[in-house]
Amino acid sequence: MENILEIQNLSKSYKQFQLKDIFFHLKKGFIMGFIGPNGAGKTTTIKLIMNLLKKDAGAINVFGLDHISHEQAIKNRIGFVYDENFFYEDLTLQEMKKIISPFYANWDEEIFQHYIHVFQLSLKHKIKTLSKGMRMKYSLALALSHHAELIVMDEPTSGLDPVFRSELLDILAELMQDENKAILFSTHITTDLDKIADYITFIHDGEIIFSEEKDTIFEEYCIVKGGKDLLDQDIRKCFIGIRENQFGFEALGKNRDKIRSLFKDHAMIERPSLEDIMLYTVRGHHHV
Ligand SMILES: Nc1ncnc2c1ncn2[C@@H]1O[C@H](COP(=O)(O)OP(=O)(O)OP(=O)(O)O)[C@@H](O)[C@H]1O
């Protein structure tokens, strides 16, 4: 299966933050959720992919091409949505579209008009009158109207109400009927991804914790709930994160089979959500 996006040993240092040896790849036909808490490095990684920031080291290939030497050709084939999208505030949506659309060889006016209608936007309105959610919808309409093969979205659901968030997820799922496309979708609203993502890449403090198929993640990780009498030093070491209170504990573990054989029927073993995996990993062994 062909990789649409390949990132290897990518590094970038700021004064107080380092992106360390980032690696992951995204295959044609799949949706990847890129998750991590605030400040983990999601936007920095995405800006590096889009060559909006200069990397210190590493390689980024999009459609098998280096992202800098083939920047224009690559950007023609990417639909990019992020909340700092630059628009001229005094222009109408129609005027702004007229500036943007000629940059894309495959611009499709019919699709654009379709999304403007579905998203209930008016092309006569000025950009500066748009709410945060409407602005995001406009960015989406632009990104989805040039037959992009890779859609890169940085926090596309932030600022959107639950009804539209759900509609957006349906639109993305529909786009994936075309097996030649792929989507990279960064968010900290992990419930959005439970539904549609095929792969999850989890970044924390500038490092990739895992980049795996979603189903594999759910097979591997588990939540264990039990009484405090079950906990000793060795057992604690089996867990990635533990929450304890006076009655008992709840913990995130990896290697479900090993944990099941360790606890037998003395503890409850459940399927975690992506949010559980993120929270326990970030908080580690702190008491809460
Ligand atoms: N231009 C910059 N100069 C210095 N530090 C920066 C700069 N841009 C980002 N950072 C720092 O890099 C870290 C990662 O930021 P980034 O925006 O990539 O995180 P994120 O995962 O997208 O977070 P969020 O979910 O809050 O958007 C943060 O600590 C941030 O303060």
Instruction: Render pLDDT for 9-29 as a digit per residue (tens, 0 to 9).
Output: 999 999 999 999 999 999 999
pTM of the predicted protein model: 0.90
Residue of 11, 15, 17 to mutate, ligand 1, most atoms within 8 A of C-beta? 17
**What is the pLDDT at residue 34?**
96
CA distance 121 to 135: 9
Tokens found for residue 181: 């496309």
Residue with the smallest CA separation from ligand 1 atom 28 is 39
245 vs 243: CA distance, rounded Å:
7
> Rounded to whole angstroms, what are the CA distances from 63 to 26, 46, 76, 93?
10, 16, 11, 31
Kindly give the number of the ligand 1 atom that is closest to the alpha carbon of 37. 25
pLDDT in tens, 153-211: 998 887 788 888 888 888 888 888 888 899 999 988 888 888 899 999 999 999 999 99
Could you tell me the distance, in angstroms and rounded to a whole number, from the CA of residue 227 to the centre of ligand 1? 39
Index of the ligand 1 atom closest to the CA of residue 41? 18
| Mutation probe of ligand 1 site: the residue of 22, 34, 44, 82 with most atoms within 8 A of C-beta | 44
* Alpha carbons 226 and 266: distance in angstroms, whole number: 7
Q: Whose CA is nearest to atom 18 of ligand 1?
A: 41
Closest approach atom of ligand 1 to CA 46: 18
Centre of ligand 1 from the C-alpha of residue 43, in Å? 7
Q: What is the mean pLDDT of residues 104-112?
A: 95
Extract long-range pairs of 158-165: CB within 8 Å, 24+ residues apart: 158/83, 158/187, 158/189, 159/83, 159/131, 159/132, 159/133, 159/135, 160/133, 160/136, 161/133, 164/133, 164/137, 165/189, 165/192
Domain at 218-283, CATH class:
alpha beta
User: Which pLDDT does position 1 carry in this prediction?
Assistant: 56
Closest among 1, 5, 2, 11 to 208, alpha carbons compared: 11
Supply the mean pLDDT for the chain.
90
pLDDT at residue 59 in the model: 96
Q: Is it true that domain 3-205 has CATH number 1.10.3720.10?
A: no
| CA dist., res. 159 & res. 135, Å (int) | 9
User: Domain segments of the chain: what residues?
Assistant: 3-205, 218-283
Pairing verdict, β 239-244 and 65-66: unpaired
pLDDT of residue 38 exceeding 80: yes
